[in-house]
Amino acid sequence: MKPAHVGLIPDGLRRWARANDTTLTDAYRRGAETVVELLLALQRNQVQTVTVYNLSRANLARPSDELDAVYAASTYFLSTLIPARFDPADCGVRVHGDRSLLPDAFAAAARDIETAMTGGGFRINMLAAYDAADELRAAHQRALRDDCDINDAFEIGEVDLVIRTTAEPLLSGFLPMQSQYAQLLFLTTPLNELTPQHIDGFIEDYRHSPQLRGR
């Protein structure tokens, strides 16, 4: 069985910039382009949903030069790369997090892409200024309002496979409720050196792994 929902934590770009003697702006821009190629590979592998961890709320305490590079790459990702590479009739995009903490251009790109990309065949979630406690509180309020179980009140569903592009075995607050039974994959290959062929291999490995879900 293939994973229906893959989480992608594209990490390690600051180290990649230092190792390759390039700027943070260039490293993050290349990272955005790489993420699009990985998304296309996941779509080709019949994954239905991918959630990309762009920024946690805690990340917003980073130095302004680092954040400016992330913001520029993220806006480029939403406003240029996604519309150019995905069919809006098939692909839907949703940005989750506290947009009031994001720059105006980033927040505007999020609004525009959500309006333009509404297809139901392939879903891209982007977590930006995301905090798991905020998500849990919002789900609790929806559960009370709709008189449903809290597990049914989350806007993002259960994750099957999480891929992080650094070897540190950390989820860093990525969808903790939805990732309870996810297979976790921590890589030594940097994000900007990952290829669609790597994705093919990860999906094939997942297919041959037992998915017990606590049973």
User: What is the domain count for the chain?
Assistant: 1
What is the predicted pLDDT for the residue at 210? Answer: 77
Q: Which domain, by its residues, includes 82? A: 5-207
Q: Where are the alpha helices (DSSP H) in 45-103?
A: 64-76, 82-85
The answer to whether residue 113 scores a pLDDT higher than 90 is: yes
Assigned domain for 215 exists: no
- High-pLDDT (> 90) share of the chain, %: 95
Tell me whether residue 131 is in a domain.
yes
* Overall average pLDDT of the 105-122 stretch: 97
Phi and psi based region of residue 138 (left: phi greater than 0; alpha: psi -120 to 50; beta: remaining): alpha
Q: Is residue 190 part of a domain?
A: yes
Summarised one tens digit per residue, pLDDT across range 146-193 is 999 999 999 999 999 999 999 999 999 999 999 999 999 999 999 999
Whether 214 maps to a domain, the answer reads no
Q: What is the model's pLDDT at position 102? A: 97
Confidence of residue 212 (pLDDT cuts 50, 70, 90): low
Q: What is the CATH number of the domain that holds 192?
A: 3.40.1180.10
Q: Return the percentage of the chain with pLDDT > 70, whole number.
A: 99
Q: Residue 1: its pLDDT value, please? A: 87
At 215, the pLDDT band (50, 70, 90 cuts) reads low
Three-state secondary structure call for residue 142: helix
> Residue 211 — pLDDT band, cuts 50, 70, 90?
confident
pTM: 0.95
In 1-143, beta strands by DSSP E: 5-9, 49-53, 91-96, 122-127
